[in-house]
Amino acid sequence: MYRERPARLAGAVLWTSTAPADADPTRVLPDGCLDLLWSSRAGLLVAGPDRRAQLSAGGSGERWVGLRLPPGAGPAVFGLPADALRDRRVPLADLWGDRAVAELAERAARAPGEALESVALARLRRVGGVDPLGVRVAARLRAGATVAATAAEEGLDPRVLHRRCRALFGYGPKTLARILRMQRALALARAGTPLAEVAVRSGYADQAHLTRDVRDLAGVPPTALLSPVRSAGGVVSPGQSAGGAGSGSGA
């Protein structure tokens, strides 16, 4: 019931999901992303970056379409710092106003994916694109660089990097690094790598450290996340959004 494809916006993903009648709550893992969402029932929403997994379930038959923006791109699209939306789900009209959203809602009712992609691209063109610092920092941390090394590479005082990261990603670089490390670890585990090796390759002290960190961020141990259900119910992969989700959407 869940599908995704690359969006026209570089690094973004367009996903769709329809909740079945017997949907279990969806566990949506933190990913450093913001989502622009359309729901057949709730209309247009924004899902901010989460620090921990969210549980959410869409209503029976509810259709969701979401544009998952790459880490650091959300502030340029929505026009405010990411930490203003951290752990929040808000109607898009609260950010852009009723008039602008009413027009977009009409377009989204006919072709939601096209409407979401088009408005995001238009807003990025208007502000000159995403902040390149966000792209570079996310890439370095995703590759396993330390926060100290990232700050040094950017020529930034660690306090300045922390402030910039809060605005770009919703939280500081250490939290983003933990989230991206969890994603790397789960990707390795799903590819068949034993958890003890996953821990070493992902930068954890040992397997116990991996388990503690994943449990803290996801609410369950790694073994519970290794057979995700790609639907509106069940466990959702890192970075994936599902029915009523969208970086952890819902009420």
Mean pLDDT, the chain, whole residue set: 89
Q: Is 55 helix (H, G, I), strand (E, B) or coil?
A: strand
What b/e sequence results for 109-139 when a residue is b if at least 16 CB atoms lie within 10 Å of its CB, and e otherwise?
eeebbebbbebbbeebeeeeebbebbbebbe
pLDDT reported for residue 74: 97
CB 73 within 8 A of CB 12: yes
Long-range contacts of residues 220-223, Cβ cutoff 8 Å, at least 24 apart: 220/27, 220/53, 222/185, 222/186, 222/189, 222/195, 222/198, 223/195
CA–CA dist 33, 28 (Å, integer): 12
CA–CA dist 248, 137 (Å, integer): 23
CA distances from 200 to 144, 176, 185, 195, 228 (A): 12, 19, 9, 9, 23
What letter represents residue 64's amino acid? W
pLDDT reported for residue 240: 43
* Predicted structure pTM score: 0.87
Phi, psi values for residue 144, rounded to 5°: 100, 5
State pLDDT tens for residues 179-218: 999 999 999 999 999 999 999 999 999 999 999 999 999 9
pLDDT reported for residue 25: 78
Q: Is 18 helix (H, G, I), strand (E, B) or coil?
A: strand
CB 89 within 8 A of CB 250: yes
CA–CA dist 73, 168 (Å, integer): 7
Confidence of residue 249 (pLDDT cuts 50, 70, 90): very low
**% of residues, the chain, pLDDT over 90:** 81
Instruction: Return the higher-pLDDT residue of 244 and 60.
Output: 60
Tokens 């939290």: give the residue. Answer: 175
Name the residue among 33, 70, 27 with its Cα closest to residue 250.
27
- Sign of the CA dihedral with 166 first, then 49, 35, and 137 last: positive
pLDDT reported for residue 51: 95
Residue 231 has pLDDT above 80, yes or no: no
Output the six-digit token pair for 51: 């620090």
Output the six-digit token pair for 181: 């490390």
Instruction: Return the higher-pLDDT residue of 100 and 232.
Output: 100
